[in-house]
Amino acid sequence: MKISKFLDGAIAADGGTVSCRVALEDGTILEIGLDARIPKTKSEREMFIGVGYPSMTGASSLPRDSLEEREVIDAIRDYLDRNCGFLRREALLETSTKLTSEKDQSDHMATVLLAAILDR
């Protein structure tokens, strides 16, 4: 799996579920997210793919530490390595102002999703 672009994303007010829609190199559009609904603890948070919210029909959970989960995390890291240096990632995570460019928004969602995944 190779991500070419983060198209959009959202953070839900349900405890912090993060969902992003990405374009893959082969042209496929895929939803990727982290289920952080209350009352889940950080250790119970799981990634999901397929739809924009973990309880929607079509959502597939990725078991923690599974090969499938690792593949998605590696794809997000690869996207960031190709598109966004370390200092820029840190700045995007800390920004509270409106991001004006499409690239800034795309990279911001990638950094937010990866940070949420790694923080569990």
> What pLDDT score does 52 carry?
96
Residue with tokens 């953070």: 11
Instruction: Give kind and range of the element (H or E) at residue 96.
Output: none
pLDDT in tens, the chain (120 residues): 999 999 999 999 999 999 999 999 999 999 999 999 999 999 999 999 999 999 999 999 999 999 999 999 999 999 999 999 888 888 888 875 576 688 888 898 999 999 999 999
Q: Give the distance, in angstroms, between the CA of residue 118 and the centroid of all CA atoms in the same chain.
A: 11
pLDDT, residue 99, reads: 67
> The pTM is what?
0.90
Q: Output the pLDDT for position 14.
A: 95
**Minimal CA–CA distance to 52: which of 3, 9, 5?**
9
CA dist., res. 28 & res. 15, Å (int):
29
Q: Is the CB of residue 38 less than 8 Å from the CB of residue 14?
A: yes
**Per-residue pLDDT at 94:** 81
Q: Contact, 17 vs 11, CB < 8 A?
A: yes
Residue with tokens 């889940």: 40
- What's the confidence (pLDDT) of residue 102? 83
CB 46 within 8 A of CB 32: no
